[in-house]
Amino acid sequence: MSDPETTFADPFEERVLRRIPFEIVGLAVVFGLGAGLLFAPLTGLFVLAGGLFSALSFMWLKSVLAKSLPRGKARALKTGIALYALRFVLIFGVFFLIILLFPKNLIAFAAGFSAVIPVFGAEAVVALAREKSMKI
Protein backbone atom coordinates (compact mmCIF):
# COMPACT_ATOMS: atom_id res chain seq x y z
CA MET A 1 0.00 0.00 0.00
CA SER A 2 0.97 3.59 0.44
CA ASP A 3 3.44 4.97 2.95
CA PRO A 4 1.52 6.90 5.66
CA GLU A 5 3.98 9.78 5.39
CA THR A 6 3.20 10.27 1.71
CA THR A 7 -0.56 9.85 1.83
CA PHE A 8 -2.64 12.80 0.73
CA ALA A 9 -6.12 13.61 2.01
CA ASP A 10 -8.18 12.77 -1.07
CA PRO A 11 -7.96 9.20 -2.43
CA PHE A 12 -8.63 10.53 -5.96
CA GLU A 13 -5.65 12.88 -5.67
CA GLU A 14 -3.48 10.07 -4.34
CA ARG A 15 -4.39 7.86 -7.33
CA VAL A 16 -3.66 10.70 -9.76
CA LEU A 17 -0.30 11.49 -8.14
CA ARG A 18 0.63 7.80 -8.20
CA ARG A 19 -0.42 7.49 -11.87
CA ILE A 20 1.35 10.58 -13.27
CA PRO A 21 4.92 9.16 -13.37
CA PHE A 22 3.69 6.10 -15.30
CA GLU A 23 1.85 8.34 -17.76
CA ILE A 24 4.97 10.45 -18.25
CA VAL A 25 7.06 7.37 -18.99
CA GLY A 26 4.39 5.97 -21.32
CA LEU A 27 4.20 9.20 -23.28
CA ALA A 28 8.00 9.39 -23.42
CA VAL A 29 8.11 5.84 -24.81
CA VAL A 30 5.63 6.79 -27.54
CA PHE A 31 7.54 10.00 -28.33
CA GLY A 32 10.86 8.14 -28.19
CA LEU A 33 9.70 5.45 -30.61
CA GLY A 34 8.40 8.11 -32.98
CA ALA A 35 11.59 10.13 -32.77
CA GLY A 36 13.70 6.99 -33.16
CA LEU A 37 11.85 6.04 -36.33
CA LEU A 38 11.71 9.56 -37.79
CA PHE A 39 15.20 10.76 -36.91
CA ALA A 40 17.73 8.41 -35.36
CA PRO A 41 17.68 5.72 -32.68
CA LEU A 42 19.93 7.84 -30.45
CA THR A 43 17.45 10.71 -30.69
CA GLY A 44 14.65 8.38 -29.60
CA LEU A 45 16.80 7.20 -26.72
CA PHE A 46 17.34 10.78 -25.56
CA VAL A 47 13.60 11.48 -25.72
CA LEU A 48 13.00 8.40 -23.57
CA ALA A 49 15.78 9.41 -21.16
CA GLY A 50 14.24 12.87 -20.80
CA GLY A 51 10.87 11.34 -19.96
CA LEU A 52 12.39 8.97 -17.42
CA PHE A 53 14.28 11.84 -15.81
CA SER A 54 11.08 13.90 -15.71
CA ALA A 55 9.17 11.06 -14.01
CA LEU A 56 11.93 10.59 -11.44
CA SER A 57 12.00 14.33 -10.80
CA PHE A 58 8.23 14.36 -10.26
CA MET A 59 8.38 11.41 -7.85
CA TRP A 60 11.18 13.08 -5.88
CA LEU A 61 9.25 16.35 -5.68
CA LYS A 62 6.10 14.53 -4.49
CA SER A 63 8.08 12.66 -1.86
CA VAL A 64 9.81 15.78 -0.57
CA LEU A 65 6.55 17.71 -0.36
CA ALA A 66 4.74 14.89 1.39
CA LYS A 67 7.48 14.60 4.00
CA SER A 68 8.04 18.32 4.60
CA LEU A 69 4.44 19.62 4.62
CA PRO A 70 3.39 17.94 7.89
CA ARG A 71 6.28 19.67 9.73
CA GLY A 72 6.09 23.13 11.20
CA LYS A 73 5.52 25.92 8.71
CA ALA A 74 8.92 27.67 9.05
CA ARG A 75 10.92 24.44 9.00
CA ALA A 76 8.91 23.06 6.07
CA LEU A 77 9.49 26.25 4.10
CA LYS A 78 13.26 26.17 4.67
CA THR A 79 13.52 22.47 3.86
CA GLY A 80 11.27 22.83 0.83
CA ILE A 81 13.24 25.74 -0.60
CA ALA A 82 16.58 23.98 0.00
CA LEU A 83 15.45 20.73 -1.61
CA TYR A 84 13.78 22.51 -4.51
CA ALA A 85 17.00 24.46 -5.11
CA LEU A 86 18.96 21.18 -5.04
CA ARG A 87 16.47 19.71 -7.53
CA PHE A 88 16.92 22.73 -9.81
CA VAL A 89 20.72 22.44 -9.63
CA LEU A 90 20.57 18.72 -10.48
CA ILE A 91 18.26 19.32 -13.44
CA PHE A 92 20.49 22.15 -14.62
CA GLY A 93 23.52 19.87 -14.22
CA VAL A 94 21.97 17.13 -16.33
CA PHE A 95 21.11 19.60 -19.09
CA PHE A 96 24.64 21.05 -18.87
CA LEU A 97 26.18 17.57 -19.26
CA ILE A 98 24.02 16.89 -22.27
CA ILE A 99 25.02 20.22 -23.80
CA LEU A 100 28.69 19.33 -23.31
CA LEU A 101 28.56 15.69 -24.39
CA PHE A 102 25.62 15.46 -26.82
CA PRO A 103 24.71 18.97 -28.01
CA LYS A 104 22.75 17.69 -31.03
CA ASN A 105 20.41 15.69 -28.77
CA LEU A 106 19.58 18.43 -26.28
CA ILE A 107 16.24 19.20 -27.96
CA ALA A 108 15.34 15.49 -27.91
CA PHE A 109 16.07 15.27 -24.18
CA ALA A 110 14.08 18.46 -23.53
CA ALA A 111 11.15 17.07 -25.53
CA GLY A 112 11.12 13.94 -23.40
CA PHE A 113 11.52 15.97 -20.23
CA SER A 114 8.53 18.07 -21.32
CA ALA A 115 6.26 15.02 -21.55
CA VAL A 116 5.02 16.07 -18.13
CA ILE A 117 3.17 19.03 -19.68
CA PRO A 118 0.59 17.10 -21.76
CA VAL A 119 0.20 14.61 -18.90
CA PHE A 120 -0.66 17.42 -16.47
CA GLY A 121 -3.00 18.91 -19.05
CA ALA A 122 -4.85 15.63 -19.53
CA GLU A 123 -5.10 15.07 -15.77
CA ALA A 124 -6.46 18.60 -15.33
CA VAL A 125 -9.15 17.97 -17.95
CA VAL A 126 -10.10 14.68 -16.24
CA ALA A 127 -10.24 16.37 -12.82
CA LEU A 128 -12.39 19.21 -14.16
CA ALA A 129 -14.76 16.78 -15.84
CA ARG A 130 -14.98 14.77 -12.63
CA GLU A 131 -15.69 17.90 -10.60
CA LYS A 132 -18.43 19.05 -12.98
CA SER A 133 -20.07 15.62 -12.97
CA MET A 134 -20.04 15.57 -9.15
CA LYS A 135 -21.80 18.97 -8.90
CA ILE A 136 -24.73 17.92 -11.07
- The per-residue pLDDT for 2 is 47
In tens, the pLDDT along 8-59 reads: 567 888 899 999 999 999 999 999 999 999 999 999 999 999 999 999 999 9
DSSP annotation of 40 reads -
Q: Check whether 134 has a pLDDT greater than 80.
A: no
Q: Are 28 and 48 in contact (CB under 8 A)?
A: yes
Q: Are 16 and 123 in contact (CB under 8 A)?
A: yes
Q: What is the mean pLDDT of the chain?
A: 88
pTM of the model: 0.84
Q: Check whether 1 has a pLDDT greater than 60.
A: no
Cα 98 from Cα 49, distance rounded (Å): 11
> Averaged over 49-70, what is the pLDDT?
88
The separation between CA 81 and the C-alpha centre of its own chain, rounded to angstroms, equals 18
Cα 74 from Cα 83, distance rounded (Å): 14
Cα 83 from Cα 98, distance rounded (Å): 23
